[in-house]
């Protein structure tokens, strides 16, 4: 079984944006943004994903990837 990985740090770097600024734009706390970024979140609301895509000017597939167990980039 694999896992879904959030690539928020990659998109932040591409957009030259700080995590705190993104959290504010999305309307979540920096602590919750950190949980998403580190992959510790067990769920994410579609509305939050939409706001992330809007703030980062990207598609959901730019933020999410699937990794099989034992495989990392």
C-alpha angle with apex 43: 17 to 68, nearest 5 degrees? 85
CATH fold of the domain at 3-63: 434 Repressor (Amino-terminal Domain) (1.10.260)
Q: What is the pLDDT of residues 25-63, one digit of tens each?
A: 999 999 999 999 888 899 999 999 999 999 999 999 999
Residue-level pLDDT at 57: 96
Model pTM?
0.85
CA-to-CA distance for 22 and 72, rounded, in angstroms?
25
Pairing state between β 64-67 and 3-6: antiparallel
CA-to-CA distance for 73 and 70, rounded, in angstroms?
10
**Quick check: 64 pLDDT over 90?**
yes
C-alpha angle with apex 54: 19 to 68, nearest 5 degrees? 70
């Amino acid at each position: 079984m694999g896992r879904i990985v959030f690539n928020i740090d990659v998109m932040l770097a591409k957009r030259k944006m700080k995590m705190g600024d993104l959290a504010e734009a999305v309307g979540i706390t920096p602590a919750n943004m950190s949980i998403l970024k580190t992959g510790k979140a067990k769920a994410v609301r579609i509305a939050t994903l939409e706001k992330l895509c809007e703030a980062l000017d990207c598609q959901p597939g730019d933020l999410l990837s699937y990794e099989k167990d034992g495989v990392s980039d």
